[in-house]
Structure 1
Amino acid sequence: MTYNLLSVQPLDVATVAAALAQCLQVRAQEVDVADETTDQDLRNWDALVLCETARVRGDVATSLDIYIQDSVQPQPAERELASAFAQAAGTAVLFPAEETPPSAYWLATAEGLVTRARLYGSDDEEPRLTIDRVETPVGQLPHVTVARIPEIVRELKIATPLADAFAAHLQRLQPEETSTPGAPAWTARTCLGAWEKLVRQLEAAWAPSGWYPQDLYRERLEARDKLEQVCTQLPENITVLLHNSLDPLDALFAELTVEDTDLLRKELGRLEDAAAEHGWWWNRRPEPLPW
């Protein structure tokens, strides 16, 4: 299994080797670590753990490409290894997040904290890496802005079983319209998916992020509005399928929210005179608000 870690502190070969041996509970001689100066002919290519390190410019000092043989068991998840390595080496360690943006990272500290981070690389021939933001203060990074990272929440992979089942039916009934942006079937499919993501995250108390961006919440209420509008443009059999998926989501949303008269509209920038243009979901809100 391979792992890609970035250390905030510069690390020499000996420090990396000792930390990996400790984390993976293998003998030190079973760990082979090399840097740019290492003679490749002298390496132990049969070692249980192989690691190549390189110096990096910017807020990150050392990159580590780690390979662990299958015989090393258990094989830790990247988050688990990064956290253990950070504590063993006494450094903050970044590792890639699962979300789409290339800037999305996790950061593990020597104190055991794991938080979100945003990392950018410059366009220089030798890129300079900048940690632009972290969601929790990190002692080794006092200069880095501490703030939430909204694009990560937008890209979270949220299970949407009802929307997926509806999309599968649509694909069989109207394959061309289902794939055509702007078509009623496409709108129904995408908006139902957006609505289910909101309801599922509300049900999970906003896990795994623990919060929800205000603009994304507004977008997904608007997606629910569009579902009402598109129902008049769909054949009756598809409208029935849509409501079969929509009704349990609406019921769950109503169960998990409280009645609201004006707080949510003010928070989302909605004027009271526009109330008639939106559905009842604009008159209910999570308690407390997630942003």
Structure 2
Amino acid sequence: MTYNLLTVEPLTLDAVTAALAQCLHVGVQEVDVADENTDQDLRNWDALVLCETVTVLGDVSTSLEIYVHESVQPRPGEREMASAFARAAGALVLFPAEEALPSAYWLATESGLVTRSRVYESDDEELRYTIDRVEAPVDRLPHVTVARIPEVVRELKIATPLGDVFAAHLHRMHPEETGTPGTPFWTARSSLAAWEKLVRQMEAAWAPSGWYPSDLYAERLAARDKLEHLRNQLPENVTVLLQNALEPLDALFAALTVDDTDGLLGKEPLPGADTAAPHGWWWTRRPDPLPW
């Protein structure tokens, strides 16, 4: 198993060795750590844990690529490994998030805090990292903005079982049009997936992010509008399939929301909402409390 970690503080090879031995419950003699100045002929290539460190610039000091032999058990997940390494080394540790965004990272502290972070890499010959934002205050990063990172919520992998079944039917019946952006079939498939993502995250109390950007909320209500407008553009058998998928999602959305009788959504207009376009009943209901 391979781990890719970044540390804010510079660490000696001995410090990295001791921390890895502690995290993985192996002897220090079973850990081989090297940097760019290490003589490769002197390394213990049979060690259970191999680590290469590279000194980098900016808000990050060290990049670590760690390989752990399969015989080492248990082997923690990346989040657990980063947290354990942060505690053992007394360092702030960054590790890549699951989302596709290259800037999406998690940051672990020695106190046990794990928070989202946004990290940019430079295109310079000498790699430089900038910690642009964290979602929770970190004492040793007083210069870093503390704020939510909305683009991560958009990229979250949310299961859409009803949308997946609908998409599979469309691909079987109309493969070319379903795969062509802009066609009614493609729009139906993508809009249903967007609507289901909203409802599923609402059902999970906005997990795993714990909040939801207002512009994304409006965008996914607009996706539900598109599905309504598509009814007359799709063959009857496709319309039936779409309705079968929408009924449970619409019912769940209704159950998880309240009537916006106080006009709260109107008082705080949703970013990106087209007030001129006709909207369905889902615009008259809202989560309570609002997730943004």
Please, what TM-score do these two structures have when normalized by structure 2? 0.97
Contact 2:166 2:245 (C-alpha < 8 Å) held by counterparts: yes
- Residue 276 to residue 130, structure 1, CA distance change in 2 (3 Å): closer
Tell me the residue number matched to 1:161: 161
Assess if the C-alpha contact under 8 Å between 1:2 and 1:67 holds in 2. Answer: yes
1:273 to 1:63, Cα distance in 2 relative to 1, 3 A = closer
Once the two structures are overlaid, the 10-residue window that deviates more, 115-124 or 148-157, is 115-124
Q: Which SS does the other structure have where 1:106 is aligned?
A: strand
Instruction: Report the AA paired with residue 161 of structure 2.
Output: P
**Secondary structure of 2:158's match?**
coil
Deviates more, 1:135-144 or 1:191-200: 135-144
Distance 1:117 1:269 in 2: 26
Cα displacement (A) at 1:276: 7.9
Aligned equivalent of 2:93: 93
Shift of 1:124: 1.4
Please name the residue that 1:281 is paired with: 282
Corresponding residue SS for 2:230: helix
Note closer, same or farther for the CA distance 1:276–1:185 as it changes in structure 2 (3 Å cut): closer
* CA–CA distance in structure 2, aligned partners of residues 25 and 137 of structure 1: 31
1:87-143 superposed Cα distances (whole Å, 9 cap, x missing partner): 000000000001011000000001100000001012211121100000001111111
SS in 2 for 1:268: coil
Once residues 165 and 115 of structure 2 are traced to their aligned partners in structure 1, the CA distance between those partners, rounded to angstroms, is: 34
Aligned to 1:267: 268
* Cα distance change, pair 187–273 in 1 and its aligned pair in 2 (3 A): closer
Give the residue type in structure 1 aligned to 2:68. I
8 Å contact kept, 2:21–2:28: yes
Counterpart-to-counterpart distance in 2, 1:220 and 1:90: 43
Aligned to 2:183: 183
CA-atom RMSD, angstroms? 1.6
Q: Counterpart of 2:75 in 1: which secondary structure?
A: coil
| Equivalent residue, structure 2, for 1:214 | 214
Q: Which residue of 1 aligns with 2:140?
A: 140
Count, aligned residues: 291
User: Tell me, what secondary structure is at the counterpart of 1:277?
Assistant: coil
Q: Secondary structure at the match of 1:71?
A: coil
Q: Which runs of 5+ in 1 are unaligned?
A: none
Q: Contact 1:265/1:282 (CA < 8 Å) preserved in 2?
A: no
Cα deviation 1:12-50 (Å, max 9, x = unaligned): 000000000000000110000011221111110000100
- Helix, strand or coil: the match of 2:223? helix
Contact 2:214/2:270 (CA < 8 Å) preserved in 1?
no
- Match of residue 53 from structure 1: 53
Per-residue deviation, 1:159 = 0.2
8 Å contact from structure 1 (residues 90, 110) kept in 2? yes
Is the Cα–Cα contact under 8 Å of residues 215 and 268 in structure 1 kept in the other structure? no
Q: Give the distance between the partners of 1:155 and 1:121, measured in 2 at CA.
A: 19
**2: CA distance, partners of 1:53 / 1:259:** 56
Q: Which runs of 4+ in 1 moved over 3 A?
A: 272-276
SS of residue in 2 equivalent to 1:6: strand
Preserved contact between residue 188 and residue 230 of structure 1 (Cα < 8 Å): yes
Question: Quick one: percent identity of the two aligned structures?
Answer: 75
In structure 2, what is the equivalent of residue 9 of structure 1? 9
Matching of residues 60-71 of structure 1 within 5 Å: 60-71=60-71
The alignment partner of 1:5 has SS state of strand
Deviation (angstroms), 1:267: 2.3
Gaps of 5+ in 2: none
Residues 146-197 of structure 1, C-alpha deviations (whole Å, 9 max, x = no match): 0000000000000000000000000011111101111111110000000000
| Matched letter for residue 35 of structure 1 | D
Query: In 1, Cα distance between the equivalents of 2:52 and 2:277?
Result: 62
Partner of 2:248: 248
Mapped to 1, the partners of 2:266 and 2:181 lie a distance apart of 29
C-alpha displacement at 1:54, in angstroms?
1.1
* TM-score, normalised with respect to structure 1: 0.97
Provide the rounded CA distance (Å) in 1 between the counterparts of 2:253 and 2:5.
Answer: 40
